[in-house]
Structure 1
Amino acid sequence: MLRSVSVKSAIKDAVEIFQFDQWLRFYFVVEKDDKLWIEIPEDTLKKIEKDLPGLFPFAEMVNDAELDYQRSQDNVCTFVAARLDGQKYEASVLPQVFDDAKFKVEMYLFNVWLKMHEPHLDEELMDFNGWLEMYEGWNSMDEVKEYRTKLIESGMDPQTPACGTAQ
């Protein structure tokens, strides 16, 4: 099996998994017995399975499970490792992804977008592809492109989620 060595592609794939996790947590977290849980309705799971087959196993993995920051990070990192590390990409690629400025800046900007658009996103359930389209529209604005370039060139290290990877 031929595995990719493209850090750029791996960044894109890893960012999508982190974004999907954010989407799930945004819409499907419920409180039960003073704890947070992810509960994805059956019809939504079926739609995810049909429209996002590569991300469906992640939705299945986290559905009906207790959630906290550490579990969320562990879930994402486990899924990234299982789906990408040594499978789709050479084992040397993923450790580079999490240290890459482009990955860190992309995650930072996604979180900025999420905070800015939270009231709009909260109005009604938007599917994940709708989120990505809206984010790409925002991303294509000149101000955002300039800000991204400035962040990358400055070498700034925005606070982003990280996965420890075995090398």
Structure 2
Amino acid sequence: MIRSVSIKNAVKDALEIFQFDQWLRFYFVVEKNDGLWIEIPEEVLDQIHEDHPELHRLADLVNNAVTDYKRSQENVCAYVGARLDGQKYESTILPQVFDNSTFKVEMYIFNVWLKMHEQHLDEEYMNFNGWLEMYDGWNSLDEVKEYRAKLVESGTDPGTPACNTKQ
């Protein structure tokens, strides 16, 4: 099996997984038994399987389970490690992704978008493709491109979730 050494592609794949996790937690967290749980309806799981088969396993993993920030981070990091590290990419690539400034800036920008659009996103359910389309539209605005350029230029670390991908 030939594994990729493209950090750029690995950044894109890791971002999608983190974004998908945010989407799951945005729409499918419910309060029950004095805790927060992820409950994804069967028809949504079927749609995920059809539209994003590579992400379906993550949805299945977290479905009907207790969640919090720590568990979410552990699940996402484990999924990234299992799906990408040593599988799709050489084992030296993923540790570089999480230290990569592009990954950090893109995660930060995505979280800015999420905070800015939270009220709109909360008004009605939007599937993951809808989220990505809306994000891509906002992301292509000149103001966002300028802001991203300033972040990259400043070299300031906007912070990012940490994943330890070493086994």
Measured against the shorter chain, the TM-score band is: over 0.9
Take 1:12 and 1:22, find their aligned partners in 2: how far apart are those partners? Answer: 15
For structure 1, list consecutive stretches of 5 or more residues without a partner in the other structure: none
- Matched residues, number: 167
2:132 aligns with: 132
1:44 aligns with: 44
Take 1:98 and 1:132, find their aligned partners in 2: how far apart are those partners? Answer: 21
Take 1:89 and 1:60, find their aligned partners in 2: how far apart are those partners? Answer: 23
Output the amino acid matched with 1:53.
P
Output the amino acid matched with 1:122.
D
Output the amino acid matched with 1:82.
A
Secondary structure at the residue paired with 2:125? Answer: coil
| Offset, 1:152 | 1.1
Take 1:19 and 1:151, find their aligned partners in 2: how far apart are those partners? Answer: 20
Q: TM-score, normalised by structure 2?
A: 0.98
Secondary structure at the residue paired with 2:143? Answer: helix
Identity %: 72
Take 1:121 and 1:27, find their aligned partners in 2: how far apart are those partners? Answer: 9
Output the amino acid matched with 2:165.
T
2:166 aligns with: 166
Take 1:159 and 1:166, find their aligned partners in 2: how far apart are those partners? Answer: 20
Take 1:69 and 1:122, find their aligned partners in 2: how far apart are those partners? Answer: 20
Q: Note the aligned Cα RMSD (angstroms).
A: 0.8
Take 1:81 and 1:147, find their aligned partners in 2: how far apart are those partners? Answer: 30
Q: TM-score, normalised by structure 1?
A: 0.98
Output the amino acid matched with 2:87.
Q
| Offset, 1:165 | 2.0
Take 1:42 and 1:155, find their aligned partners in 2: how far apart are those partners? Answer: 44
CA deviation vs aligned residue, 1:125-164 (integer Å, no higher than 9, x gap): 1000000000000010011111111111211111211101
Aligned pairs for 1:21-40 within 5 A: 21-40=21-40
Runs (4+) of structure 1 exceeding 6 A deviation are: none
Take 1:166 and 1:103, find their aligned partners in 2: how far apart are those partners? Answer: 18
